[in-house]
Amino acid sequence: MKEKELSSEEFFAEKYRESNIAEFFRRNMHMLGYSGPVRSMTTIIHEFVTNGLDACEEVGVMPKIIVEVRQLGDRDYVIGVEDNGLGIPESYIPRLLGTMLAGTKFHRYIQSRGQQGIGAVGAIMYSHITTGVPIKIITSTGKGKITTAVMDIDIKKNKPHIFEMTSVKGKWQGTKIVARFKDIVYQKGEQGVYEYIRRTATANPHATITLLEPDGNVVKFKNSVNKLPSRPKEMLPHPRGVSADDVRLFALASEQRKLSTFLEKSFSRISAQKVKEIAKRAKYVDFSMDPKELTHQQAEAIVRAFKDVRFIAPSTNGLVPIGEETIEKSLKEILKPDFYSVVTRSPAIYRGGIPFQIEVGLAYEGQAGRSKGKDTSSEVMRFANRVPLVFDAGGCAITQAINSIEWRRYHIGDFDNAPITVTVNIISSHIPYTSAGKQAISGEDEIMNELRFALMDAGRKLKSHLSGVRRDKLRDERRAIFEKYIPEVAESLSKLSGSATKKEIIKHLEKFVKSRARAKEDKDDKID
């Protein structure tokens, strides 16, 4: 029987459907990092641990994070992550953990581990998709009340569904999330949970992180630094780093009554004098108008004017690096290298107005590199705002920058098989991730340049160290050759001279060899 042809009205009436952001990500969980059993497991831990560290630092307490992984069956686990941080007020539990694109980070110009309002909610949604079992949240803000909530996510509405919420009296502060997941696997390896926790401890040496593995093994990474990092300050966007659409969105949210005042209050480096310069270039824009009435064409004119006006570079007060001293302590504590060098570049900007900073740590020999039986290979630890990036290495600017360095110039003949660990941390109020999975950084020209400069600087320090090691080895080899024949030469000279004993001549020759070796070493130092 021939199928009836539908008119346009009938087709759209039958087929048209609306969806929301939660439903979109439910169909595209791979975009959030849930694309395989090992990666999905690590992504879940990553999202909860990241939130825990931020929650502790917000209230100025040394982070104590406990991660527990229990296996129930094949690819079936219960994961619990506990922190001693801020705690979540009862009314905010469903909003923070049950709604996509809701939170405290994604709308702020501030250096933070998360910046999209998706992470933890995405993990909870993955629990819902794979098990259908509600999650449990236990939290307290430290005011004598501990709240337990059992909830789920209504994906079609992008809203939380609370099954139960109870409170009891008690002295504790923090948050614990317990959820069940399927289609995930706990595995020790470069992309597994253990390695993620190890790298998190490396970049956050002020934190104590305890990992309870499925086999009952307990691993504890104690803090090696007894001081919290400074809190980053929220920054205003720089005029060189915004688009016309950004300006319109800021204008719609502004409480200012005049466009000129809005520009002064909403952007960094714009003074009343700068507004006059902008107004001269955007002649057809009324700067006394209500910002909420700004059209897209007018916003475009303002952004074009931004490009023609000279502005001071954006403030970097909001950038808080790990710090060279802290990185050194972390490398010594975890890798125990024979040599290390740390480089922190001065802050720079990309896309014309977004500040960022690069830190590089390089460790050589000791426990540096990755052990493969009797062999050792190089190890690269990538971080963004102190968060480990363990996937998508090939498409990341950090990997590309490392691969572009001629390591032979720094006495590393075969980088891939060298006992070396390279750690790279990029910090910014806006990390240019290549996807919502937040595992690779885009190769912006300015970022690539800063990465290369930092790596080459660290490489020069390593070269100097290896040159010294090489000189010492050659000096010892030369001395060994001479010292090998001293007894024979001394005996012959004693017989020929008849005036000195063999013992006296040996003493004289040993002194002579040492002085010549020292002179050669001083000459090599001057050449270097």
What is the residue-level pLDDT of the chain in tens, covering all 528 positions?
455 666 666 655 655 554 555 555 556 566 676 788 999 999 999 989 998 998 898 889 999 999 999 999 999 999 999 999 989 998 888 878 756 444 444 445 677 775 444 668 888 888 888 898 999 999 999 888 999 999 887 767 667 788 999 999 999 999 999 999 999 999 988 889 999 999 999 899 999 999 999 999 999 999 988 989 888 888 888 898 888 998 998 898 889 999 999 999 999 899 999 999 999 999 889 999 999 999 999 999 999 999 999 988 887 777 888 989 889 988 888 889 999 999 999 888 888 778 899 999 999 998 999 887 778 899 999 999 999 999 999 999 999 999 999 999 998 989 999 999 999 999 998 899 988 778 899 999 999 999 999 999 999 999 988 876 666 566 666 666 666 777 777 777 777 776 777 777 777 777 776 776 666 555 555 544
Q: Is the distance from CB of 220 to CB of 210 less than 8 angstroms? A: yes
Instruction: For residue 488, give both structure tokens.
Output: 């024979």
Helices (H), 243-343: 244-253, 259-266, 272-281, 296-308, 324-334
Report helix angle 272-281 to 259-266, nearest 10: 120
Residue 190's pLDDT is what? Answer: 84
pTM exceeding the 0.85 threshold for the entire prediction: no
Q: What are the strands of the beta sheet with 64-73, ordered from one edge?
A: 159-169, 145-154, 135-141, 173-182, 76-83, 64-73, 208-212, 218-221
Residue 63's pLDDT is what? Answer: 96
Q: How far is CA 120 from CA 125, 146, 482, in A?
A: 9, 21, 68
Residue 85's pLDDT is what? Answer: 92
CA pair distance 292, 249, nearest whole angstrom: 9
Sequence spans of domains, the chain: 21-221, 239-308, 324-464, 466-527
CATH number for domain 239-308, candidates 2.70.98.10, 1.10.8.50, 3.55.40.20, 3.40.710.10: 1.10.8.50
Instruction: For residue 71, give both structure tokens.
Output: 């296996």
Residue 519's pLDDT is what? Answer: 60
CA-derived radius of gyration, the chain: 30
Instruction: For residue 336, give both structure tokens.
Output: 């125990």
Report helix angle 37-58 to 193-203, nearest 10: 30
Residue 374's pLDDT is what? Answer: 78
CA 184 centroid distance within chain: 23
Q: Is the distance from CB of 194 to CB of 176 less than 8 angstroms? A: no
What class, spelled out in words, does domain 324-464 have in CATH? alpha beta
Residue 101's pLDDT is what? Answer: 47
Instruction: For residue 215, give both structure tokens.
Output: 């086999």
Q: What is the CATH number of domain 21-221?
A: 3.30.565.10
Instruction: For residue 209, give both structure tokens.
Output: 């992180």
Residue 104's pLDDT is what? Answer: 46
By the 10 Å C-beta count (0-12 exposed, 13-18 middle, 19+ buried), 396 is classed as buried
